Amino acid sequence: MKRSVATGMILLGVSILVLFFLNLLLGSVSVPAGQVWKILWGGEVDNTIWQNIILKSRFPQALTALVAGAGLSVAGLQMQTVFRNPLAGPSVLGVSSGASLGVAFVVLLSGRLGGVALSRLGYMGELAMTVSAIIGALAIMLLIVWVAQKVRGNVTLLIIGVMIGYVATAIIGVLKFFSAEEDVRAYVVWGLGSFARVSGGQVMSFVLIMAILLPLSFLLVKTLNLLLLGDGYARNLGLNVRRARMWVIVSAGVLVAIVTAYCGPISFLGLAVPHLCRGIFRTSDHRILMPASLLAGASLALLCNLIARMPGFEGALPVNSVTALIGAPVVAVVLFKRRKEDMGE
């Protein structure tokens, strides 16, 4: 039992290393593996174009995919546990809609009001989009946390979260309607989600923020395990359920906010990966599921990024299409299996 968990973790770790290297290796320009290895370790390579492709494009992109996948999967796991709902995902509380709303305000309104389309301002515009996404997502999250303190039922909270998401989407719709065409296009492109957009300078700040946030989210493992038992039992075992629920939502919300701010809304990974991990490790213990989701999420995101960039597609496939193509069958299989188990009882 213990040994199989360790084996699983090691396999996931190895798959991350392999997929990361494949992400550097494969692409529209073929660079020999030996050269990639050399560039990676700072060796001198005569072909500066190769060096630029690897260090300025593929490496940041792979790193972004790895960290984003890990963050979304951990957030998804936390959401599924706190709502005791297998269909909960990182986007369920409207946090990613909040990020979209923030970006929509900046992208769509700036052209209208200031006369300068932010989307065409290059690095400043990029930064403005990231900041506005974080502000939008965190604002919605604070609203949800406030509601969470008011309402007792999980389902009520879930429905209110979904409703807030709808309202945000509706406001975005109105903004779109009154905006210039190129601004709408810039917004739509952001909404497709991408691991490639994060530029070299931003990648480090993204990785740094997530390197702080992910370990912090692990502090909640005992809380999450207790929440599995249901509010009554959790409370009887000494857990302040209301406060616990708030912290889990804050943790998942902040993770989603940051990832969405840098990569746009990435769907399905956060929903599918926790199911995948429960299936692989046959456990609901968060001391195993949290690291497993982190590793599997990183690995799957790298795989999706690789597929999206496959020769032939040449970056034409949006990452969201690939995550959904992989994620949707996973969720469907899990639900079918659960239905079978329920009927078998």
Asked if 232 interacts with another protein (CB under 8 A), we say yes
CB of 182 to another protein, least distance (A): 49
Contact window for another protein (CB under 8 A) among 18-26, 120-128, 199-207, 232-240:
232-240
Give dist(CA 295, CA 301) in Å, integer: 10
Between 56 and 242, whose beta carbon lies closer to another protein? 242
Can you spell out the DSSP letters for 195-226? SSSS-HHHHHHHHHHHHHHHHHHGGGHHHHHH
Asked if 15 interacts with another protein (CB under 8 A), we say no
Asked if 222 interacts with another protein (CB under 8 A), we say yes
Q: Which of residues 27-86 bind another protein (CB under 8 A)?
A: 84
Residues 6+ apart with CB under 8 A from 292: 8, 9, 12, 277, 280, 281
State both tokens at 180. 């210039």
Binding mask 275-314 for another protein (x = CB under 8 A): ---x---xxxx-x---------------------------
Residue 225 contacts residue 286 (beta carbons within 8 Å): yes
**In a 3-state reduction of DSSP, which class is residue 106?**
helix
Asked if 229 interacts with another protein (CB under 8 A), we say yes
Between 132 and 217, whose beta carbon lies closer to another protein? 217
Residue 262 contacts residue 206 (beta carbons within 8 Å): yes
Of the candidate residues 225, 251, 260, 320, the single one contacting another protein (CB under 8 A) = 225
Between 46 and 342, whose beta carbon lies closer to another protein? 342
State both tokens at 95. 């946090």
In angstroms, the Cα distances linking 55 to 119, 199, 215 are 25, 11, 27
- Which stretches of the chain bind another protein, using CB under 8 A? 84, 219, 221-222, 225-226, 228-233, 235-240, 278, 282-285, 287, 341, 345
